[in-house]
Copies of this chain bind each other. A is one copy, B any other.
Amino acid sequence: MTHDLKALFKPRSVALIGASNDSRKYGYWTAKSLVDNRFDGRLYMVSRTKADRIMGCKPYASILDIAEPVDLAVVGIAPKYIQGVIAECAQKKVKCVIVVSTGFGETGAAGKAVEKQLLQTARQGGMCLMGPNCMGNYSAAVNLNTSIIDLAPGPLSLVLQSGNFGIDINVNAKTRGLGYSCWATIGNQVDLRFHDFVDYIKDDAATRVVLLYMEGLRVESEADGRRFMEAARAAVQKKPVVAIKIGCSAAGVRAAASHTGSLAGSEAVFDAALRQAGVIRVESSTDLLDVAEAFVKCAPAKGNRIAVLTDGGGHGVMAVDKAERFGLAAPELSAETQDKLRRILMPHCPVKNPVDLAGTPEADMWVFDRCAAVLLNDPQVDGLIIVGLYGGYADLSDEFRRLEMDVAESLLKRVKASGKPVVMHSMYQPYRPACLTHLSQGGIPVYAAIESAVQAMGCLVGYQNSRQRLADENKAPAPFLPVDRKKEVDCILAAVRAAGRVHLVETEAREVLRAYGFVLPPHELVQSAEHAADCVEKMGKAAAMKIVSPHILHKSEADGVRLNIQTRPQARGAFDQLVTAARRYRSDADIFGVMVTPMLPAGVECIIGALHDVTFGPTVMFGLGGVFVEVLKDVAFRVAPVKPYEARVMLNDIQGRAVLKGVRGAAPVDEGALAQAVSRLSCLAAECGDIAEVDLNPVMARSDGLDVADARMVLIA
C-alpha cells in the first residue's frame, strides 16, 4: 500500500511524546527544534516528567489528555514503553507516528519482533509509521522540524536512511545556500519506505530536485523493489531524482547454479534498476549537492554539445578531456563562430573549443562576456562550461574587482536570456570571492573542481535524455505475445512441479518459450535409436542430438550433446552413445530420451537470461556469449518486464556492443529481433513469478533473425 504522507509533511498539529527539559536528552533537543523552527500548527508536549512547562508549553501526561485532534506524533521514548504509547496514539486517531527511538530491528531478532508489533498496532489504528531508529523529518511548507539538525527551507527534498549522512549532506548544502522542502530520515523502514516518500515528493511543487541516500531497500517481498521503481519512474518524469546508493543489498541474489545467476550480483541489478527508472546515481555527498545545485540553478539542457571557455589553457584542456566521460561532446566550433571569436580575441588565442582567452582578460575583462555571448548564440552549442581563474582577478587590483563583478552581472543576464545551461569552475572558489557568490546566486553554479562542473553539466544532459527515454518508452508498443501464453505455461510448470522437480528439461523449456511467441526450430523427443534415425532422415538436414534428463543440467559435462548428425547410422550411434554417457555420468538419472533438432546456422553468440532478484524480483539479462560473459562479465540487466524499445536500449549497454553492429566485415545482427526476444523473456519472467532462472545460451543472432540454441529453466524452489 502507498501512504498519503500529508500528515507527515503538512500536519495541522504535532505532539512530541517524550519531551524533556533536560538539555542532555533527545526529547529536549527535539522540543527545542520544533519550537525554534516555529511550526505553523498546534504543538503539544507529552511527558511523564512532572515539569510545569516544557519550552513554554504545558506538558500532557499522555497524548490521550490532549483535547484537540493530533495529526502527527513524534515518539522519542525508551523501547520498553513504546508499544503502549503507540497504542495510545492509535486510540487518539493520530494519522502518522514518527518513532525516533533506537533499539529495535537494528539490534537483532528481539528488536525485529517489537517492530512487527509496532507495525501491527499502527496498521490497526490506521496510522502510518516512520522509523524507528530515525532522526525525524522537516517540512518547509509548515515550518516543521522534528529532527535535531538545523535545516533551512529551499528547493531540495532529501530522503535518507542515515542520520549521519543527513548531517553530512546538510553541511554541504549550507555552504551553497541550499535548503529543503521535504526532508526525512526513514530509519528502519518498518512501514513508510522510499517509494512512499518519492511518490509524495514528486507532487510537491516546492521541490525542484529529489535526493535519496540509500543503503538498500527494505524488502519483505520484491513488491517493495517494484514500488520503488514505479515511484521513481513517475517522479523522474516530473523532476530529477539523484541518489547515492552504498553497499550491496544484504542477502544478495538467490544462490544459483547457472551462468546467469552467478553473474547477477544484486549490486549490478540495483544499479541497472536505478538507471532504468531514470535515477541519476552519484557517489558522494559532494557529488550529490554538485548535481543538485546545477538542477536548481540551470536551464534544462537541450543537447550534449558543450563549449568550453577558459582563461587557463590547461584548465580548458582538462575540461574537454573529461567531457566524454560524462556523456558530453565538445566538438570543434563552427567556422562562423570561430570567425566571430577571432574578431574578439588576439591571434594566439585558440578558438576551436576550448576557447582560450590566454591572457587577454588582464587587458580587457569584457572578453569573457563577449565570447560567452558568441558561444551562447551559436545554435550548435547546447551548454557552456567556463573554467579557470575567474574570481581571482580581484586580487590584482580594485579596478579588476569592480570589473569582475560588472562582467559577472552581464554574464548572468546573457545566460538567463539564452535559456541554456552554464556552469563554471574557478580555482578561487574555495575562497568564495564576492563575484563568484554573485554568479552562483544568480544562476551559474561555480565549482572548485573542473570535474564537478563537467559532471554537473553531464547530469543536466543525462536527465533530459532519461526523461525523453521514459516518455518514448511509455509510447512504445508492447511486445507481441500470444493470448493464451500464461495458461499454457502454467500447465507445463504445474506438470514439472507435480513431478517434484524445479528444473525443466530442455524440451519443456522450449515449449514454454514457444508459448511466449519464440519461434524455435522443431524438436522431437525420441526414446530409441531407431526413432532417432527416423527423425534425422525425416528432417533431411544435419541434426543436433541432446540427452534429455531432469538430472543432467549441464549437458556438455555429461557428454550429452552430439552435433552434425547426417545419416541414419550416425543417428543410431549418437543415441546409444548419449544414453551410455548419461548412465556413466549418473547411473540413477531419469532419462526422458534424446532430443533431435536441426543444426542451426552460425551467428553471433548471445545470452539472454532471467533471474529472480531479491530486491526487484523478475529481472532480465543480456550479454554476448563466450569470453564476453565469462571473462568480462559484460552483461546488462533490466527489471522485468521491458518493452522491445527498452530492450533495444539495453542491448547497447554492453561494452561489446560493436559485435552486434558487425565486426570483421560481418553484417550487423537483427537488433529488433534480439530486442523482441529479450522483451518476450522479460514478460515470461514477470508474468510467471515463480521462475528462478532462465538461461538461453547460446542464442545465435544473425542479420536475418536469431535462434535459441539451448534453453535452461529453473523454478523457484
Chain A residues proximal to chain B, CB less than 8 Å: 102, 106-108, 161-162, 164-165, 167-168, 171-172, 175, 213, 215, 246-247, 283-286, 311-315, 317-318, 320-322, 347-348, 359, 388-389, 392, 427-428, 430-431, 448-451, 627-628, 630-632, 655-656, 658-659, 663-664
Contact = CB atoms under 8 A, between A and B. Distances in A.
Given A167-B392, A284-B449, 17 more contacts: A108-B348, A161-B314, A162-B313, A164-B427, A165-B315, A167-B427, A168-B312, A168-B427, A171-B427, A171-B431, A215-B314, A246-B318, A285-B427, A627-B627, A630-B663, A631-B656, A631-B658
12 contacts: A107-B347, A162-B313, A165-B312, A167-B427, A168-B315, A168-B427, A247-B317, A247-B320, A627-B659, A627-B663, A631-B655, A632-B632
A663 B627 CA distance: 8
A667 to B, nearest CB: 16
- The 6 A-B pairs at the shortest CB distance, nearest first, are namely A164-B312, A162-B314, A168-B427, A247-B317, A631-B658, A107-B348
A659 B428 CA distance: 49
B247 A321 contact: yes
A284 B451 contact: yes
A388 B628 CA distance: 39
A430 B313 contact: no
Given A283-B451, A627-B659, A627-B663, A313 B427 contact: no
Contacts of A106: 348
B451 A389 contact: no
Nearest to A362: B24
Contacts of A658: 630-631
A396 to B, nearest CB: 10
Contacts of A164: 311-315, 388-389, 427
A364 to B, nearest CB: 15
A23 to B, nearest CB: 10
A315 to B, nearest CB: 7
A443 B317 CA distance: 35
A107 B632 CA distance: 47
Contacts of A392: 167
Contacts of A108: 348
A572 to B, nearest CB: 30
A172 B427 CA distance: 9
Given A164-B388, A284-B451, A314 B246 contact: yes
Contact of A631 (B285, B359, B451, B659): B659
A168 B106 CA distance: 46
A224 to B, nearest CB: 20
Contacts of A313: 162, 164, 215
Given A313-B162, A347-B107, A627 B630 contact: no
A164 B315 CA distance: 8
A313 to B, nearest CB: 6
Contacts of A168: 312, 315, 427
Contacts of A388: 164
Nearest to A431: B171
B628 A171 contact: no
A415 B451 CA distance: 33
Contacts of A317: 215, 246-247
A314 B283 CA distance: 12
A430 B171 contact: yes
A649 B283 CA distance: 31
Nearest to A450: B284
B430 A630 contact: no
Contacts of A215: 313-314, 317
Contacts of A347: 107
A664 B449 contact: no
Contact of A167 (B175, B246, B320, B389): B389
Contacts of A312: 162, 164-165, 168
Contacts of A167: 389, 392, 427
A53 B348 CA distance: 36
Nearest to A657: B631
Contacts of A431: 171
Contacts of A428: 171
Contacts of A664: 630
Contacts of A632: 632, 655-656
Nearest to A313: B162
Contacts of A656: 627, 631-632
A428 B628 CA distance: 44
Contact of A314 (B213, B314, B315, B322): B213
A555 to B, nearest CB: 14
A121 to B, nearest CB: 24
A400 B215 CA distance: 29
A144 to B, nearest CB: 23
- The interface centre, meaning the residue of A314, A321, A450 with most chain B CB atoms within 10 A of its CB, is A314
Contact of A449 (B165, B286, B631, B659): B286
A382 B203 CA distance: 50
Contacts of A655: 631-632
A652 to B, nearest CB: 13
A389 B164 CA distance: 8
A168 B314 CA distance: 11
A537 to B, nearest CB: 31
A157 to B, nearest CB: 19
Contacts of A448: 286
Nearest to A661: B631
A88 to B, nearest CB: 28
A315 B284 CA distance: 10
A19 to B, nearest CB: 20
A424 to B, nearest CB: 15
Nearest to A162: B314
A42 to B, nearest CB: 30
A432 to B, nearest CB: 11
A310 to B, nearest CB: 9
A320 B664 CA distance: 42
Contact of A165 (B284, B314, B321, B630): B314
A102 B167 CA distance: 50
A428 to B, nearest CB: 7
Nearest to A628: B627
